[in-house]
């Protein structure tokens, strides 16, 4: 066993020496904040109900972060702590361990949404939640400390890049023809598929969301403002639509194990991404759940 991984297993054992039913329950709850399900629940809320620009930015960066994480896991193929010592495995995962997707994802998510809060609260959330989620992954025996450090490091790079380059890129794409925007989204999705062929869901979600974000200002320029009831109505309606798009094609086209599985998976998630970014906002305007906002989406 490499020395770094052996040290990592020792750290996991040390963390679990403090185990109790209450602490384990807390860690299981905390680790949900770094799951892809949490992002699929929280990102639309921000986009539909809080800040349209920030939500669009968050969606693109989260999908990009998930892709990068999964691709790197496939490159490194590093085992998890319970692969070396089954006694430490409180939770099982199906993917390799390096880097930690939970540590990376929470760092990106809360780093991007931090400006929506006051400076002190934003800093607390951007640092505190990734820290406790990373610790939970070590405690549960699914990551070595080195996996968590790598996830945090990648998140820092992504968030700093967003701070320095996003506005410049947004201004550039606002000036170019819509065909170039669509072609750029398609090209990135193609590269994602080429590099991560076993899982086309991330590329599909990125493609659908990216196309929707490109057209939303033209076809569904909705305003996130409104009463709490209106915002709740938008969110419930939008999530219900996303759930139907997730479940209906899955059971209509039983493609698991077939030659069309990757294509059907791509289409399912592209539809979900397109619904979140464009389909739901169009319905919000159609059914008077939101007012029009002529301000362009950057």
Sequential pLDDT tens for the chain (298 residues) = 578 888 899 999 999 999 999 999 999 999 999 998 899 899 999 999 999 999 999 999 999 999 999 999 999 999 999 999 999 989 888 889 999 999 999 999 999 999 999 889 999 999 999 999 999 999 999 999 999 999 999 999 999 999 999 989 888 888 888 899 999 999 999 999 999 988 899 999 999 999 999 999 989 999 999 999 999 999 999 999 999 998 876 666 665 656 677 888 899 999 999 999 999 999 999 999 999 986 654 4
| Cα–Cα distance, 41 to 19 (Å, whole number) | 30
Note whether 47 and 55 are within 8 A (CB): yes
Report the distance separating Cα 232 and Cα 240, nearest Å.
Answer: 12
| One domain for residues 28 and 66 | yes
Question: Which of 79, 99, 116, 114 shows the shortest CA–CA distance to 152?
Answer: 99
How many domains would you assign to the chain? 2
Q: Which of these three, 148, 175, 202, is where a domain ends?
A: 175
* 202 in the same domain as 123: no
| Burial class of residue 256, CB neighbours in 10 A (0-12, 13-18, 19+) | exposed
Range of the domain at 191: 177-298
Nearest to 281 by CA among 10, 52, 24, 70: 52
Residues 119 and 247 in one domain: no
Rounded Cα gap, residues 223 and 34, in angstroms: 29
Please tell me whether the overall predicted TM-score, pTM, comes out greater than 0.85 for this model.
Answer: yes
Which class for 266: exposed (0-12), middle (13-18), buried (19 or more C-beta within 10 A)? buried
Pair 153, 262 in one domain: no
The pLDDT value given to residue 255: 58
Hey, what are 221's tokens?
Answer: 């320029």
Furthest-apart CA atoms within the chain: distance in Å = 61
Residues 62 and 168 in one domain: yes
Domain co-membership, 155 together with 111 = yes
Domain boundary among 175, 198, 223: 175
Mark which of 127, 160, 175 sits at the end of a domain: 175
Q: Are 164 and 111 members of one domain? A: yes
CATH code of residue 150: 1.20.144
Tell me, yes or no, whether 112 and 227 share the same domain: no
Report whether the peptide linkage leading into residue 99 is cis, meaning its omega lies within 30 degrees of zero.
yes
The percent of residues in the chain predicted with pLDDT above 90, rounded, is 77
- Tally of CB atoms within 10 A around 132: 16
| Beta-bridge partner residues of 222 | 292
SS3 91: coil
């Amino acid at each position: 066993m490499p020395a770094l991984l052996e040290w990592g297993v020792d750290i996991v054992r040390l963390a679990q020496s403090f185990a109790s039913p209450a602490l384990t329950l807390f860690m299981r709850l905390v680790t949900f904040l770094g799951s892809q399900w949490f992002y699929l629940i929280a990102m639309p809320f921000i986009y539909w109900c809080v800040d349209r620009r920030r939500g669009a930015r968050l969606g693109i960066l989260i999908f990009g972060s998930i892709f990068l994480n999964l691709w790197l896991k496939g490159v490194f193929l590093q085992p998890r702590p319970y692969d070396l010592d089954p006694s430490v495995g409180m939770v099982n995962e199906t993917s390799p361990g390096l880097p930690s997707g939970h540590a990376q994802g929470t760092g990106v998510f809360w780093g991007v949404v931090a400006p929506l809060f006051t400076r002190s609260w934003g800093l607390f959330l951007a640092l505190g939640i990734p820290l406790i989620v990373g610790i939970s992954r070590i405690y549960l025996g699914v990551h070595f400390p080195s996996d968590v450090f790598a996830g945090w490091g990648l998140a820092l790079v992504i968030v700093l890049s967003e701070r320095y380059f996003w506005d410049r890129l947004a201004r550039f794409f606002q000036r170019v023809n819509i065909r170039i925007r669509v072609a750029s989204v398609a090209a990135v999705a193609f590269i994602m598929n080429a590099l991560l062929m076993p899982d086309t869901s991330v590329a599909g979600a990125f493609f659908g969301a990216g196309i929707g974000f490109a057209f939303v200002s033209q076809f569904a320029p909705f305003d996130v403002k409104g009463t709490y009831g209106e915002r709740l109505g938008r969110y419930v309606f939008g999530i219900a639509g996303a759930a139907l798009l997730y479940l209906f094609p899955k059971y209509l086209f039983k493609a698991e194990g077939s030659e069309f599985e990757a294509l059907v998976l791509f289409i399912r998630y592209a539809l979900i991404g397109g619904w979140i970014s464009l389909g739901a906002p169009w319905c919000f305007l159609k059914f008077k759940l939101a007012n029009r906002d002529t301000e362009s989406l950057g």
